[in-house]
Amino acid sequence: MTTTQPQQHDAAYDPTPRTVPTRSRERARYDHETVHAILDSAYICHLGFVRDGAPVVLPTLYARVGEALYMHGSTGSRPLLAARRTDPGLPVCVTVTHVDGLVLARSAFHHSLNYRSVVVHGTAHQVTDPEERRTALDAMVDAVAPGRSADVRPANERELAATAVIRVDLEEVSAKLRTGPVNDDAEDLALPHWAGVVPVTTAYGAPVPDAALAPGTAVPDYLAAL
């Protein structure tokens, strides 16, 4: 596969003025393991860019392959058109967030969330190499249900022609996490209000078969595993 992805040889991303938070700096992480784990645990990101002088933020499907994030859309979508027309590419900010718990304190001020997030600053480039595009599209299908790309009809030439893919290299990246209990002030600990953490998790229901599915078609193992 022909690609211009940079090669990362260290175990962490270098902090930059845009990736060092102004508050709660102790929550920031730059190691590859933490960043990749957060990215690989989701498949919806928010893609931010500027269009006609105004900010635009769009939710979109993504997948990580090595040191790159891939996103896709129709060839006529705004970010895809901008990535193609802008030289040397479209400046973007990509964010991914997991909510792990509601932190309910005795005081309104100390209410918070337990969360894991990643922010990526970079330049989106349109992917034109056919092999790289197919790899990226398969990765996005597998991000939703691991193993699914091998269990569907591949996109044909007409469908590929209508689909554009953009890549953002993982270079200017940071993660930020909040874990643990309530952080109430000492003078509030005796207040009669309930305090604690309400865990938040994502759960999958039982697969619902399509009405036109052939009778007796079994649920694939990779879906049952979800």
Would residue 11 count as lying in a domain? no
| CA 184 – CA 108 distance, rounded (Å) | 10
Cβ atoms 122, 92 nearer than 8 A: yes
| CA 63 – CA 143 distance, rounded (Å) | 6
**Cis ω before 88 (30° cut-off from 0):** yes
- What's the pTM? 0.87
Token match 């999958």: residue?
204
Would residue 14 count as lying in a domain? no
Give the total number of structural domains in the chain.
Answer: 1
Q: Residue 172 sits in a domain of what CATH number?
A: 2.30.110.10
Would residue 140 count as lying in a domain? yes
Can you give the residue range of the structural domain that contains 51?
25-185+216-224
Would residue 211 count as lying in a domain? no
The distance from CA 143 to its chain's CA centroid, rounded to whole angstroms, is 10
pLDDT in tens, 45-86: 999 999 888 999 999 999 999 999 999 877 667 666 666 666
| CA 73 – CA 135 distance, rounded (Å) | 15
pLDDT in tens, 167-199: 999 999 999 999 999 999 999 999 999 999 999
The token pair at 199 is 């865990």
CA atoms lying within 13 Å on the CB side of residue 156: 1
Count CB-CB contacts under 10 A for residue 119: 21
